[in-house]
Chains A and B, each alone.
Chain A
Amino acid sequence: MTPQSSFMIVVPIASGKRDAMDSLLESMNLAPGRVDPHNPVIPFALFDELHSARLLIIEANTAEDILAYDTEVRHWTPSLALLGEVDGERGQFLARLAVVASHGLATLFALCQGFDTHQGSMLSFLQSHQTNSAADYVNWRGRTVRQVHEEARLQRFLAERLSTMLAEDGHTDVRQIRQQLLTSVQLEQQTGRLTLTPEAPTSWRHWWRNALHLISLPVILLLLTPVLVVVLPLALWRLRKIEKNDPDIDTKSTLAHIRTLSRIEDHDVSNQFNVFGDVKPGLFRLLLLKSVMYIVSYAARHIYRRGYLARVRTIHFARWVFLNQNRSMYFASLYDGSLESYMDDFINKVAFGLNLTFSHGVGYPRTRWMIKGGAELEQPFKQTLRRHQLPAAVWYRAHPGLTAIDMARHARIRRGIEEYPLDNAQIRQWLSEI
């Protein structure tokens, strides 16, 4: 299995360069919300291990909300963020990126702080600004860009072949149909027009690291049990107390903000989502959030790794990142459907998960015990997410037009080619998915 990794380069924008940055980023698009995959700044399409990437300016639009806690506004310099998800190791990708897009990256970073005085290579600049996630979610761990493309091609080929066959003569024997399809696939593979690359072996290093991570949580829990027995009730008591004292912040988004966001949405079957905001003040909150992030990261790595994030199946990638010395948090995701349907899933299917991870943010609707309330308060929840949302100036996907459901179906179609014997019911099911 080829594991996926994420990268995120965050660099503060130099003062007075904001407008230049905006127009440079805009130049990478064909139209608002539609990237030019071959744009000269970063020709994304050249990277065949790149699932998706985005560039955005992270800025603190809601910084003053924290005044409700009698806390000073936390300073944050608007920063350029370049982030994405790749197959394989992050280091290898960044090294390639630094070479292939060195000129374009230089024009981008020239508008940022510290690039002109940077001694060393582009790669070292990237590495020194790499910001690790607290948790990464991948819809299907191990599914590579190549696999997605190959399986999509396989499905198209089979669908065309099948409809020709059915039009030519009324086949009724499903076994016969399948046999003919398998033969066509083999022929097509021999001509080289169709490839189905076998899964790469899992590296020992990855296997060990994953195994260690897998046992980490049980071990930690086991070791800490005596402490937790004492600390947990106290922590819950403290949590409930601060939850009750959380101020309500119900500022609405401006119409202009909503327009800026929706301008780049719904051009494809999928959308990007970014939110940025302050973490509620206090060491207790921070420790709580860190623990939650550890659990989320654990669950994403070992439990929700095959198409499901709890009940939700429309999220391709998601990540939670601490910024500004743990004082702020950034969340990014790539999801299928419209924002309203995404919110719908948040509220109706995984409100508890949203509350666990987002209730530590300033302005989040009031929760009870970190699980109830919060996202269940429909309008305040939608309002707070929209208000903290940031537009992605540039957004690239290697496989536009494909939803996570499509990809899972394509993988099942491929399995139906490679696995047998299948009984008649299974063949019918397989045919129906093509």
Chain B
Amino acid sequence: MNDQQTVEFDDIQALARFAHGHLQDSCFLLLSVIDRHAAGRWLQRANIATAGQKAELPDTAVQIAFTPAGLTALGLPEQTLMQFPEDYLTGISGDESRSRRLGDVDHNAPALWQWGHHDWHAVHLLLLLYSHRGSIGRFREEIADKGFDSAFHVCHTLPTDTLSPHEPFGFKDGISQPRIDWQHTQRTDVHAREAYSNLLAPGEIVLGYDNEYGQLTPRPLVSTTSDTHSVILPPAVDHPGYQDMGRNGTYLVLRQLQQDVSGFWKYVHEQARGNATLAEELASQFVGRQRDGKPLVIPTVRNIPGISRKQTDNHFDYDDDPYGFQCPVGAHIRRSNPRSGDFPPGVSGFWSRLVSTLGFNRQAEQQDLVASSRFHRLLRRGRTYGAIHPQSAETDKEQGLQFISLGANITRQFEFVQSAWSISSSFAGTREERDPLLGHRRALDNGTRTDNFMQADAAGAQRKLPSLPAFVTVRGAGYFFMPGLRAVRYLGKMAEQNPDGATPNGDEPDSAVISEINSSSSVAGRP
């Protein structure tokens, strides 16, 4: 490991390393820059939480991420902006083809979203605030001081809730996370890893370090001669004379997913004909885990780097269950992470790798359809919202998940998992079904329905549950860039010192849109 690969925790926003689990309350704000100068000043003094180790856990945390419109509003030159990848620049709702690929169609279509589509040009920043239980209101007031108010307009306050280990359907969530290999203990090479490992190269999450291919993900670089502000940025390790705007930054995908909890349990109970045990079993088949988090497949005896054997709810893969007898192949967690190595199970050593590579290792028809899941991992940082308390009378309240995932490559990570695995009707040889939780239910063009759920059965014929309703609805979504600390200061400085102090024309937030958003958010918002 060379110096360039030593991870600079103090320059990385804390969320890439910690989930702020002890800060149970949170508040997510979508902001619009109304005064570039003021915004620049505020960004430079903002106390952003970093990934560096502290003696004590902090009482509050602030994280900041930007949209492409936000970077422009702060005065980032177009030539730098255009170096960002296509997915980020176009945005999650900016192209119908992308929406189709991600399954944001029908009831999930961006046109129906509460935020992230009509208003996207006016959204510039995402501010994530975390604090101890009960103190988030006070913390938000503290943040929204005079300098803040003159710089930003709050377009939308996303609903959030006190942190809960269970997602709204009632299942324990957040068990499976990649473990970031900050010390670079594991080799990264295209064909190096035969079996599944949970250790993930830092460059898969944070830009500027080697990713799982042993390469640097492209990111915007700035020449020191053309841009004097850029001296505060870290140098680009692969391009002498350039500063790295991406280093220590990460992309943040945010999706507000409304969950139809009563619809979910109603369907399951109907299918179980009222048998509560059966209903519970069915629901766990959808998820791939029981409510308490216990996976449906038995823990493996093989070693999985990055997961302790004691962690029985995570020490498993699907190598011994190719047909899905233990856990349906189409189950939610199996689609989200098939836990496959670079080669089919049992391949080890030069010759068997060669035989496999040439296509002569044909043990089971189901095997090797999905390989190398390490290139498609998500670091999840979501929070639930709208929990219905047992005492509460409101039962029709919107509830769900503010899904957040971090990664260095939106297309290869979030979009791949969403399109090729979760909503694909042909994931790993499955057919006529999509993710039972996340998927839309649109039939294929040739009329084949995809609203089923298939359960393989060792005794013979598979069981088919028909006519699944959609249980999840997308209410808003966006792609953000969460820069390193120095890059935030660079942006702040640029905004403050830019001769054109006012927000450039065209980025003026549309007041009609904003008021519309505000009125729609007031129901769910929790200031």
Q: Which of A's residues lie within 8 Å of B, judged by CB?
A: 34, 159, 162-163, 166, 172, 174, 177, 253, 255, 258-259, 262-263, 265-269, 304, 308-313, 336-338, 340-341, 344, 347-352, 376-379, 400-401, 403, 405-406, 408-409, 412, 427-428, 431-432, 434
> Chain B interface residue count: which class?
35 or more
Q: Does B237 contact A (CB under 8 A)?
A: no
Contacts of B357 in A (CB 8 A): 310-311, 349-350, 352
- Asked if B445 and A34 sit within 8 Å, CB to CB, the answer is yes
| Contacts A255-B90, A311-B357; A406 near B426 (Cβ below 8 A) | yes
| B416 contacts the other chain (CB 8 A) | yes
Q: Is the C-beta of B176 less than 8 angstroms from some C-beta in chain A?
A: no
Contact B86 A258 (CB under 8 A): yes
Interchain residue pairs A-B with the least CB separation, the first 7: A401-B446, A262-B97, A431-B460, A310-B359, A341-B420, A308-B359, A348-B372
Known: A348-B371, A409-B429. 12 other contacts (CB 8 A): A255-B89, A262-B101, A337-B420, A344-B375, A344-B376, A344-B420, A348-B372, A349-B357, A349-B371, A352-B357, A377-B215, A400-B445
Min CB distance, A34 to chain B, in Å?
7
User: Which residues of chain A are within 8 angstroms of B420 by Cβ–Cβ distance?
Assistant: 337-338, 340-341, 344
**Are B424 and A337 in touch, CB under 8 angstroms?**
yes
Q: How many A-B residue pairs have CB under 8 A?
A: 133
- Asked if residues B365 and A341 are in contact (CB atoms below 8 Å), the reply is no
Residue of B nearest to A254 (CB): B86
Q: Complex Cα distance A191/B97, Å? A: 44
Assess the B359–A427 pair: CB atoms within 8 A. no
Which residues of B sit under 8 angstroms from A400, Cβ to Cβ?
444-446
Partner of A341, one of B356, B416, B459: B416
**Residues B458 and A268 in contact, CB atoms below 8 Å apart:** no
Interface assignment of B190: CB less than 8 Å from any CB of chain A: yes
The interface residues of chain A lying within 8 Å CB-to-CB of B369 are: 313, 405
CA distance A405 to B464 in the complex (A): 19
**In the complex, A267 Cα to B357 Cα: how many Å?**
30
Residue numbers in A under 8 Å from B314 (CB-CB) = none
A309 to B359, CA, bound (A): 7
* CB nearest neighbor in B for A377: B215
Contact between A163 and B419, CB atoms less than 8 A apart: no
- The answer on a CB contact under 8 Å between A311 and B416 is no
Give bound CA distance, A213 to B457, whole Å: 45
Beta-carbon nearest neighbor of B427 in chain A: A337
User: Using Cβ atoms and an 8 Å threshold, which residues of chain A touch B362?
Assistant: 308
- List the A residue with the shortest CB-CB distance to B448: A401
B347-381: contact bitstring with A at CB < 8 Å (1 yes, 0 no)? 00000000011110010010011011001100000
CB-defined contacts of B419 to chain A, threshold 8 Å: 266, 338, 340
Q: Contact between A428 and B444 (Cβ–Cβ < 8 Å)?
A: no
Query: A432 and B323: CB pair below 8 A?
Result: yes
Q: Does the CB pair B461–A401 fall under 8 Å?
A: no
Is A409 touching B459 in the complex (CB atoms < 8 A)? no
CB-contact partner of B456 in A262, A352, A376, A432, under 8 A: A432
CB distance from A171 to the nearest CB of B (A): 9
Contact for A269 among B101, B425, B459, CB less than 8 A: B425
Q: A163-B464, A310-B358 are in contact. Are A268 and B444 (CB under 8 A)?
A: yes
Residue from B97, B419, B431 whose CB has the most chain A CB atoms within 10 Å? B97
Which residue of B has the minimal Cβ distance to A404?
B426
Whether the Cβ atoms of B356 and A311 lie closer than 8 Å is yes
Q: By CB atoms of chain A within 10 A, which of B213, B218, B342, B461 has the most?
A: B461
A165 to B471, CA, bound (A): 30
Interchain CA distance A340-B446 in the complex, whole Å: 23
Expressed in whole angstroms, the minimum distance between the Cβ of B214 and any Cβ of chain A is 9
